Every structure is written in structure tokens, then in C-alpha cells.
């Protein structure tokens, strides 16, 4: 089959963000747009001739079209094997596992995660390296540089591959293999967790509600929770992946999973509620009567992980992204483990996991995971919680209370200002950066600023530096406000404000979060002038 070199011209806007390139579907539908980015990925890599490439996505609108293009291009560029999840489906953590399990050179994941899907909504492309994790900045920078100079892409003429039938076909010189998207992942979960114990818990009447949000985790959750663990049919809701996620945001937070939250707070609440996002890497955990913040969930999972067979040997270390609360730090301190603080985005955990420095990682944005793959993993977090609940035979709320009584409680919230004018958001950050030296020593009400900086990360494994990763305002007593701009949005800017206050173990552990951090919320405006810069007087989303 002849390989065709198609002339093209660069698009100026193909800079990958926190997690790959994300744009509106019509942007991706421009002739050559996806092809340019995919070729820029291939042009930034070395030595993949004859190697395997994994391709899968979260099933959103435009998934199949880009997969067909990517198959032809991967074959034309010289990959030897192309592994694809049936139906074009692979959750992000499952893709990570498939890359590792089959020794693939890398993988292309098609997703815009928790962003809505549909003809006018979001799409995304991300490249993962051979460890199964998101490409590090060195590679994403190279991809972007290439995208600004690209003048041709390679493809070939071949019929569309039938994505819905297992088995092998040839495209050019490559073997294309359609695989079961769930089987390898489910087997990995069985290795890590005590399925017998969880089955016994469920058999004893423990009730679970899992909302797959019409996104990719549906088939995974149905197979694992219902078929393998014996939860009754209907435990998994919205379990069929839809190209537009049923018109919803597949974002497992208190705003977009409000129905589940309300149910969990109601009189007939199940024992355990959970949800995951568009591509299956995020998780929401709600016990009967208690929402567990993602930062707390990370800390509680780390403190109890040894109860699951996969972690019985203990943890090597814990890693969290900088804006994630310090709850995990308290656990690390208590258990005598190293704690790593990284910039936002899972790509920064890869080196720590590969080097065996960290076993469990997490982000405040509902991402938790471990060294079993190199992505955050929504269902993994749910299963680890269930394993812990099956061993401890306590409710989520009891486990949380005991945790706080031992480690103290980090009251925490994130305020998002979405769709803000980009120039105004940039000015706000520039002004804030300009005042960092002047802030320490000043007071706002009863709060005194102790330190202020722009977070920079020095990777202890490869020595790389990442600067300007978020502005930290640290107060006397350990409270903290962090400001950063989102790197995953597709229109305007999103300002994220992370607010945290630590209450020691002998303090008041039973307050309402909003009330516990009210003075810090009030200080946000004084420090950053969000209303002055953007006209916004309240956040759009509080998580
Ligand atoms: C957000 C979260 C970050 C997460 C990233 C990708 O990034 O804050 O913690 O790693 O999304 O998650 P940002 O730059 O918008 O704050 V996902 O589930 O969208 O792949
Ligand atoms: Co996601």
C-alpha cells in the first residue's frame, strides 16, 4: 500500500495544556487539524518503527473519525502493531495499563475528560509514553514546536477498520488488533484488591450507587461491580457511554453529580456513592451523609492502603499536586513516609512512580491513583475504598472521623471562575506576581501572610524545572490560598482559587467547610481583586 505524503500548513494553536490538546469539536473538524497534531506527535518521537501503538478514547463525539485517521497515520509512519479498544473505547487508566501490559511504545488517548461532548462541545488528543503515563513536558514542548512548522503528514488509503469486532486486520504494513477494553483492566483490579472481601461486604447488604455519567467507565463498572463483585443490577447508573454524555458535563463533582449527592444525603441513602468522569480517571466519593473531599480521600486511602492486598507491603511514598490540601502530608508524616509536592497534572507523577519513590498519588481535582498504572484511576479509587470498608467494617463517616481525630482536618474548597476574559485573567496573575515580595508580613483581618511565592518544581528524578505553577499565599498557622489558571479549558480562561485551613486533631473537627474557611474566602478578593479584574463577584463552581 502506498504511503501518501499530504502537504499541510501549521495551525498556531496546538499547544498541549495540562493534559493534552483540547479544543471544540469544530476546531478538530478543520481539514488537517487532527492529522497535523498526530503527525507532530510522531515527528517528536524516535525509534518506534515496528513497535506497538495503543489508541483509544472515551467514546465522545468525533472519537471514531479521529481513530480511523490515527490508524492510517500510525501505519504510514511505521508502527508495527496498533492496539485499539473495541468500539474505540479505552478509559484513560485502562489505556495506561494496556500500554504497559503489551509493552507498547506509547498510546494516543482521545478525550477531553470531564468536559462536555457533542458536535459543538469538546474533544482532545493526548500522547502517553511507554510507561503508560502522559508525555512529560519535554515531549509536549517538542510536539508543540513541531506543530508550528509542520508541512506534511503521512497517511495511506485504506478502508475504515471495523472497530466493533475483535480480531486482527492489516492496514499497510501494520497489524491492527481490536481488543476487549475491559478485560485486562478488570484482571489488574482483581490482583490489587480482595474481591472476596468486597463480595462478602456487598452480599451482606452493603449498598452502592455508582454514576458512570454516561461516560467511559460504564462498561468497566458494570463488569467489575455488578458481574464480578455481585452488586445488584442497577448499581451502575448511566452505564452506557454516549457521544454527548446525555447532554451533561461528565464531571464528578457536587455540581454535576448533584443528584447522587442529594441521594447520599437523604434518608434512604445507600452506604457508598461514587462517580467518575468522561475518561474514567477521576472519582467522586460520597459516604452516607458525607462527601469526602478528594484531598481527604487521598489521605484516607494512603493511611489505609495496606488493608488491600496490592499495598500490603506498605507505601514507598505519597505524592500530591501543589494545590491539593496538606491532608496527605499529615499521613506521610505520621507513617514516616516521604511526601512529594508536584505541579498540577498527572504527568509530573510519572518519574516518581517509575523511580519507586511514590506509591500513591493524588490531586484535589478528584484524581487518585497508584503505581499500578501511570494515570489517575477513578474505579481504582472506588475499589480501594470498598476494600478498606470491607476490612474495617465501618461506615465512611466513621473512617473519616477517626482519620481527622488522628491527623487533624484540612478544611478545603476550590472556587472556579469560568469563562473569564483571558486578558483580564492574565493581568490578574501578572499583578499578583508583581506583589509577591510585598505581601509577607501584611495582614487581612486576623490573618497574617507569612510567605508568598510562585510555585516551581524541581523534579528529583530527572532534574527538570517547571516554573510558574501557581501562586501560593501562606498564612501564619498553616492556612493557604493558591491561585492558578486552568490549562484544560477550551474557551476563555478559568481562574482556580484553592482555599485551605488546617485544624489540628484536638481542634474543632465538625465544622461546616464554608464557615471554617470564611475568613480566607473574604481575603481572596483583597489579595487578587477578582471582581476588579473580571467583574465576577462569585465563583461559578465550588468543589
Ligand atoms: C485540571 C485539574 C488537574 C488535572 C487536569 C486533568 O487541570 O485541575 O488537577 O490533572 O484537569 O484532569 P487544570 O489545568 O484545568 O486545572 V482530566 O480528568 O481533565 O484528564
Ligand atoms: Co479525566
Residues of the chain above pLDDT 90, percent:
97
pLDDT confidence of 491, banded at 50, 70, 90?
Answer: confident
pLDDT of residue 16: 96
pLDDT of residue 489: 83
Strand duo 272-276 + 208-211: pairing: parallel
Q: Are 69 and 34 in contact (CB under 8 A)?
A: yes
Is-catalytic flag, 113?
yes
pLDDT confidence of 405, banded at 50, 70, 90?
Answer: very high
**Ligand 1 pocket mutation pick from 294, 321, 323, 488 by most atoms within 8 angstroms of CB:** 488
Of 364, 218, 210, 224, residue with least CA distance to 275: 210
Give the ipTM of the model, two decimals please. Answer: 0.98
pLDDT of residue 523: 96
Of 172, 126, 414, residue with least CA distance to 281: 126
Q: What is the pLDDT of residues 30-39, one digit of tens each?
A: 999 999 999 9
**Ligand 1 pocket mutation pick from 344, 484, 486 by most atoms within 8 angstroms of CB:** 344
Ligand minimally distant from the alpha carbon of residue 22: 1
Mean pLDDT, range 314-342, rounded to an integer: 98
Write out the three cell numbers for 418: 469560568
Domains of the chain: 3-181 (3.40.120.10), 185-407 (3.40.120.10), 409-542 (3.30.310.50)
Write out the three cell numbers for 56: 483509544
Q: Is 345 in the pocket of ligand 1 (CB under 6 A)?
A: yes
pLDDT confidence of 341, banded at 50, 70, 90?
Answer: very high
Q: Is 5 exposed, middle or buried (0-12, 13-18, 19+ CB in 10 A)?
A: exposed
Q: What is the pLDDT of residues 109-159, one digit of tens each?
A: 999 999 999 999 999 999 999 999 999 999 999 999 999 999 999 999 999
pLDDT at residue 250 is higher than 80: yes
Ligand minimally distant from the alpha carbon of residue 344: 1
Q: Nearest C-alpha to atom 16 of ligand 1 is from which residue? A: 486
Atom in ligand 1 nearest the alpha carbon of residue 489: 15
Atom in ligand 1 nearest the alpha carbon of residue 346: 10
Of 438, 499, 496, residue with least CA distance to 293: 499
Write out the three cell numbers for 267: 434518608
The residues pairing with 122 across neighbouring beta strands, listed in sequence order, are: 24
pLDDT of residue 356: 98
pLDDT at residue 397 is higher than 80: yes
pLDDT of residue 181: 98
pLDDT at residue 1 is higher than 80: no
Atom in ligand 1 nearest the alpha carbon of residue 20: 20
- Going from the Cα of 260 to the center of ligand 1, the distance in angstroms, rounded, reads 22
pLDDT of residue 197: 98
Half-sphere exposure in the Cβ direction for 77 (13 Å, CA): 27
Q: Is 490 in the pocket of ligand 1 (CB under 6 A)?
A: no
CA 180/CA 163 separation, integer angstroms: 11
pLDDT confidence of 490, banded at 50, 70, 90?
Answer: confident
- Going from the Cα of 529 to the center of ligand 2, the distance in angstroms, rounded, reads 30
Q: Which range has the worst mean pLDDT, 42-51, 340-349, 484-493, 511-520?
A: 484-493
pLDDT confidence of 180, banded at 50, 70, 90?
Answer: very high
Q: What is the pLDDT of residues 454-471, one digit of tens each?
A: 999 999 999 999 999 999
Amino acid at each position: 500500500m502506498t504511503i501518501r505524503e499530504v502537504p499541510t500548513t501549521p495551525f498556531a494553536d496546538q499547544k498541549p495544556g495540562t493534559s493534552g490538546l483540547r479544543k471544540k469539536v469544530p476546531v478538530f473538524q478543520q481539514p488537517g487539524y487532527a492529522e497535523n497534531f498526530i503527525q507532530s506527535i510522531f515527528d517528536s518521537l524516535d525509534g518506534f518503527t515496528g513497535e506497538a501503538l495503543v489508541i483509544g478514547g472515551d467514546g465522545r463525539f468525533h472519537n471514531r473519525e479521529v481513530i480511523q485517521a490515527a490508524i492510517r497515520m500510525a501505519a504510514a509512519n511505521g508502527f508495527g502493531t496498533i492496539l485499539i479498544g473495541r468500539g474505540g473505547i479505552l478509559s484513560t487508566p485502562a489505556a495506561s495499563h494496556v500500554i504497559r501490559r503489551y509493552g507498547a511504545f506509547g498510546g494516543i488517548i482521545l478525550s477531553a475528560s470531564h468536559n462536555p461532548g457533542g458536535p459543538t462541545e469538546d474533544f482532545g488528543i493526548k500522547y502517553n509514553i511507554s510507561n503508560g503515563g502522559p508525555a512529560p513536558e519535554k515531549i509536549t514542548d517538542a510536539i508543540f514546536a513541531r506543530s508550528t512548522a509542520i508541512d506534511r503528514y503521512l497517511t495511506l488509503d485504506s478502508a475504515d477498520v471495523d472497530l466493533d469486532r475483535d480480531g486482527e486486520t492489516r492496514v499497510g504494513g501494520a497489524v491492527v488488533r481490536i481488543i476487549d477494553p475491559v478485560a485486562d483492566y478488570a484482571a489488574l483490579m482483581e490482583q490489587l484488591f480482595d474481591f472476596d472481601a468486597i463480595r462478602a461486604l456487598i452480599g451482606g447488604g452493603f449498598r452502592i450507587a455508582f454514576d458512570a455519567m454516561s461516560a467511559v467507565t460504564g462498561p468497566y463498572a458494570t463488569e467489575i461491580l455488578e458481574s464480578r463483585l455481585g452488586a445488584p443490577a442497577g448499581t451502575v447508573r448511566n452505564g452506557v457511554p454516549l457521544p454527548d454524555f446525555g447532554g451533561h458535563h461528565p464531571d464528578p463533582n457536587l455540581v454535576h453529580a448533584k443528584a447522587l449527592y442529594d441521594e447520599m444525603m437523604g434518608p434512604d441513602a445507600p452506604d457508598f456513592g461514587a462517580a467518575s468522569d468522561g475518561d474514567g480517571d477521576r472519582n467522586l466519593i460520597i459516604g452516607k451523609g458525607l462527601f469526602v473531599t478528594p484531598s481527604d480521600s487521598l489521605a484516607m486511602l494512603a493511611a489505609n492502603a495496606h488493608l488491600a492486598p496490592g499495598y500490603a507491603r506498605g507505601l514507598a511514598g505519597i505524592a500530591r499536586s501543589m494545590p491539593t490540601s496538606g491532608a496527605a502530608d499529615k499521613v506521610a508524616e505520621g507513617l514516616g513516609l516521604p511526601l512529594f509536592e508536584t505541579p498540577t497534572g498527572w504527568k509530573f507523577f510519572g518519574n516518581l512512580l517509575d523511580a519507586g519513590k511514590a506509591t500513591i498519588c493524588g490531586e484535589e481535582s478528584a484524581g487518585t491513583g497508584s503505581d499500578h498504572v501511570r494515570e489517575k484511576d477513578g474505579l481504582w479509587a472506588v475499589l480501594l475504598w470498598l476494600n478498606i470498608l470491607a476490612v474495617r467494617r465501618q461506615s465512611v463517616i466513621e473512617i473519616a472521623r477517626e482519620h481527622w481525630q488522628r491527623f487533624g482536618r484540612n478544611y478545603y474548597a476550590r472556587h472556579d471562575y469560568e469563562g473569564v476574559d483571558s486578558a483580564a485573567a492574565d493581568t490578574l496573575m501578572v499583578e499578583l506576581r508583581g506583589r509577591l515580595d510585598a505581601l509577607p508580613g501584611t495582614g487581612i483581618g486576623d490573618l497574617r501572610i507569612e510567605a508568598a511565592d510562585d510555585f516551581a518544581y524541581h523534579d528529583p528524578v530527572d532534574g527538570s524545572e517547571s516554573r510558574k505553577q501557581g501562586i501560593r499565599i501562606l498564612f501564619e498557622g498553616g492556612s493557604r490560598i493558591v491561585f492558578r489558571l486552568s490549562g484544560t479549558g477550551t474557551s476563555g480562561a478559568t481562574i482556580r482559587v484553592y482555599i485551605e485551613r488546617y485544624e489540628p486533631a484536638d481542634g474543632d473537627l465538625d465544622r461546616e467547610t464554608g464557615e471554617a474557611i470564611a475568613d480566607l474566602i473574604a481575603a481572596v478578593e483583597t489579595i487578587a481583586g477578582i471582581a476588579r479584574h473580571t467583574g465576577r463577584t462569585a465563583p461559578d463552581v465550588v468543589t
